[in-house]
Structure 1
């Protein structure tokens, strides 16, 4: 950390919200400190896209939260992912430069226009509207993928103009090169099954080339059918908030300081205004450090205060931002009093409204191995040489290791959906059925598995919470999602939508003809909708937590923020991360949080112009 202890802006968290915001402010001419509890850890698990699961279990990259899906212990223990010693289900988050963008699956799908329109109407601010948010996405995107074929009657130039892809932004995005799928006959068979299902179910004629581009501006919100999967990958390597920060640091003449291995413990508030952040100068100080790294915490060099001349911005994510707000006296008065914390602002919505998507996985075993994986551990080889796929990535940044493992998806509308599709189903050639300790190794223990992931978007459950377990800032908060029945009214709709997605996944797999398949999760004996609903209740999970410091109208007592991210009742303090969403946007949340960071940059630079 630089010698100076005062900056224009202090930003807590380097992920999808805080990273772009910090970079933009520094490049505009402000001095910025990013407080990050992790280190800058660069390794193949971070860089190689196919290694995404290992990244989320790397103790140098991740924190392990264990969350409650149910308060009812009997319901909780029906999930085979439940970990007795931890009392919950693993929920990995990033703790490194780049935050959770360093451990995510890199999927970068633009949200639905209605997600932004609802925020524009809620706040009365058209700059939240779909046209402006699309402009921000174009500004941010550096698209290098193979485009979808033009629609009938369009030329490639027409396609490019209508798609409105950004080519010059900072976030490198692409798709798996179609030639990679062509190297594995079984991959081609799965891709063909998705195409066949799309044409049969949704009446897509042969004159329309598949897959389509889910991020093209002219792919209508109502579209159902096969798409490719855009990912934050460029030149065969992961891209995210880390790369944006490091680039901005190089180009900002010392204005951007990365305060690594610094745990934010409290926002310093004087006379009703946030003026700085108290930080604990110690690596691996937080209790979510994975078991493999426990006992390896660095030297405790004590706490100190870093001050902000202009504003403090919290971007720690849906779990850590509400925890830090509460530790700073901002939150429900009764809860703060229970932990002996003086109340600065009584905001009952802090830590409430926690919600997520529901996801389930169906797994089949094939009657043969994927020939493409022959001789590969699907891991970093111990000798660094024996794996041909690893060698291909090292030499050319190409091949299966340059992908996140998913080549195509089907977007669909469930029987309970509103106007926008609420299901996305995609395949992985591994055994992935959720998060638990050791899941990354288990996923590749054999080379004959096919997983079909079902993600149910636009969920209705808002009953989750993040509450303090202790006033100790190194302690992990109590995180409870209250799945399905525990979430209250509307759970039947969510559950029915998940079951619709399961049935769609099974329909796709019935069209895979290149190998014999045996369903092992949930198994062919789970045949009716009631049985599938029980399976979803027991084994669903999520990994897009949001909503715990939501934007809301002035007359909403549970609103924590206004439309410009300001924390109500405290001057000079904002939140810019997944906490801000009153309703979960789109399918995969990373792109929406990146856009929140971009919009916050415009808001702050308009209010705090750089002095000439």
Structure 2
């Protein structure tokens, strides 16, 4: 088996699949893509509603859990991360949301590199996109300006409708949230239906988009079941250099040009720390040779915490009702014949981006509205008809950490999100629940007689709302920032603006980049899958330009 390559990409997730595609486009480049999990040829990955069977499934999920979190009243959360070809794009909610233009302009300011501005990010969003507007007769200037036609990633409208969601959208408008036809033009404020990464009713993950079409490239090797124990770092006269990786089973693989770490915001800092790149005190505690003292590796963890407000409704035709008895058979038949209906659904169908209070100058919260209710994904639907109006703070100020708990690569990292740890985040949590109540009290929803079940109408004071938010909130699966990029003068920057790994002494670790959500200095104001693809698109050009 070949052991020497030009490029080794660690992690065949969202970023890794795109990188493997771009780096192997030149037949002179020998590229190895390593994935710890298995193939994505699992029917519940293809069927959109299958996320219910992929999250919490060791075949597709790393099965991580957070440490007990004070902001969640001591609760631990399931922390899904894809462990399969396609990574999180194989188990996520399929929502295509880029964020707001101001997010990327902030990245440009934080890194000192205008390449990250919205103006310069937009071409990289379009580069891999195949958007439904461009082949559906929507050929106006906005569609051409903001969306791609011929890219590998298919973005489509959802293939189902629920009248209660239409009513919720109307209620949002009555509450002052304007309708929005496109969440991806740089200003997502408003209410509308999410677009999804699907093709004709099937999930279109990163492996489908970027790997399957190039499976015959002889210069690309894809290995599944390949767990990386650590990176191989050499101390040279001119500084540190990453020369390859060590796989489980003591197999050494060499990269002549670069190792690109794309294991995600959880596993990338874990691998760096196991390789001697991280906080010196932590590494010494676990008997790991400190190659570079980098306190910021694993820090700056940011995530979107969704507060799952549940409302009982009447005569609404929710999934709680439709999936009873022979309803499941009807749903299955509809999908088999048409690829439509509840089996084609993303976890959330209706979205709204708005302000938690009128004094803000941009949308700072996001609703994910679902025609169903359950205690947590993977658990049974409630026996009564209900909808869920989840709301998350788009710009949390709380920061957490991810650290190894031992020197054993097979051990899970310690995940401490530190949710609701700031006054600002607690204030937004209380405001968000009040905002949900305002929407649900509008005339457009009156025919469904919504009744608040969680957190409950008896919960009224800010302190009580915050406490109950800690009881019902959960991650929306958007961890970022644990290997953040930034300026050379920023002590919390793990990477430089071109995603090259710093050595803690003012230089770079030759041959090592990190390309995944961990590189984000600040979490975007929306879902994170689309921005990761944009990051990978830029990184591929920079890597190839470096030779």
Please, what TM-score do these two structures have when normalized by structure 1?
A: 0.82
The alpha carbon displacement at 1:374 in A equals 6.1
| Structure 1 CA distance for aligned equivalents of residues 358 and 524 of structure 2 | 17
The number of residues matched between the two structures is 534
Q: Secondary structure at the match of 2:387?
A: strand
Change (3 A) 1:306 1:459: same
Q: Does 1:235 align with 2:200?
A: yes
CA pair 509-190 structure 1, distance change in 2 beyond 3 A: farther
1:399 to 330, 334, 341: 341
Q: Secondary structure at the match of 1:10?
A: strand
Q: Which of 91, 95, 117 pairs up with 1:129? A: 117
Q: How far apart in 2 are the matches of 1:602 and 1:420?
A: 32
Cα deviation for residue 58 of structure 1 reads 2.3
Question: Any stretches of 5+ residues in structure 1 without a counterpart?
Answer: 83-87, 149-154, 182-186, 205-209, 281-301, 486-490
C-alpha separation between the residues in 1 aligned to 2:166 and 2:227? 45
Equivalent position SS for 1:514: helix
- How far the C-alpha of 1:566 sits from its partner, in A, is 0.6
> Does 1:527 find its partner at 2:460?
yes
Tell me the equivalent position of 1:586: 525
Cα gap change, 1:262 to 1:332, in 2 (>3 Å): same
How far off is 1:54 after superposition?
A: 2.0
**Matches of 2:268 and 2:59 in 1, distance apart?**
21
- SS of structure 2 residue aligned to 1:21: helix
How big is the alpha-carbon RMSD for the aligned residues of Structure 1 and Structure 2? Answer: 2.5
Q: Which residues of structure 2 form unaligned runs of 5+? A: 504-508
Q: 1:260 aligns with which of 211, 220, 224?
A: 224
CA shift in 2, pair 1:347/1:247, >3 Å: same
* Residue 446 (structure 1) shift: 3.1
Partner of 1:461: 398
Does the CA-based 8 Å contact 1:112-1:420 persist in structure 2? no
Secondary structure in 1 matching 2:251: strand
Q: Is the 8 A contact 1:349 1:558 kept in 2?
A: yes
SS class of match (1:93): coil
Deviations 1:23-72 (A, max 9, x none): 111123322111111000322321111222222122211111110252x5
Find out whether 1:431 has 2:406 as its counterpart.
no
| Structure 2 residue 120 is matched with structure 1 residue 172 | no
Q: Is the 8 A contact 1:567 1:575 kept in 2?
A: yes
Residue equivalent to 1:449:
386
Counterpart for residue 506 of structure 2: none
Q: Deviations over 1:154-198 (max 9, x none)?
A: x95435546521111111111214xx32xxxxx323322322432
Query: In the alignment, which of 140, 158, 162 is matched to residue 128 of structure 2?
Result: 140
| 1:558 counterpart (489, 492, 506) | 492
Aligned residue among 238, 247, 253 for 1:279: 247
Contact 2:36–2:226 under 8 Å retained in 1: yes
Map 1:125-524; keep pairs closer than 5 Å.
125-144=113-132, 157-158=139-140, 160-161=142-143, 164-177=146-159, 180-181=160-161, 187-202=162-177, 204=178, 210-215=179-184, 217=185, 221=187, 224-251=189-216, 253-270=217-234, 271=236, 272-280=240-248, 302-368=249-315, 370=317, 376=323, 387-415=329-357, 419-434=361-376, 439-442=377-380, 444-446=381-383, 448-462=385-399, 464-485=400-421, 491-511=422-442, 512-524=445-457
- The DSSP-based 3-state class of the residue aligned with 1:94 is coil
> How much does 1:246 deviate?
2.7
Aligned mates of 1:567, 1:249 — CA distance in 2: 29
Answer yes or no: is the 8 Å Cα contact 1:406–1:427 preserved in 2: yes
Pair 1:514–1:45, CA change in 2 (3 A): farther
SS in 2 for 1:63: coil
Match of 1:606 in 2: 545
- Decide which moves more: 115-124 or 320-329: 115-124
Q: Please give the TM-score of this superposition, normalised by the length of structure 2.
A: 0.91
What SS does the aligned partner of 1:337 have? Answer: helix
- Measured in 2, the distance between the counterparts of 1:163 and 1:400 equals 32
Could you tell me which of 25, 42, 52 is aligned with 1:27? 25
Q: Alpha-carbon deviation of 1:405?
A: 4.6
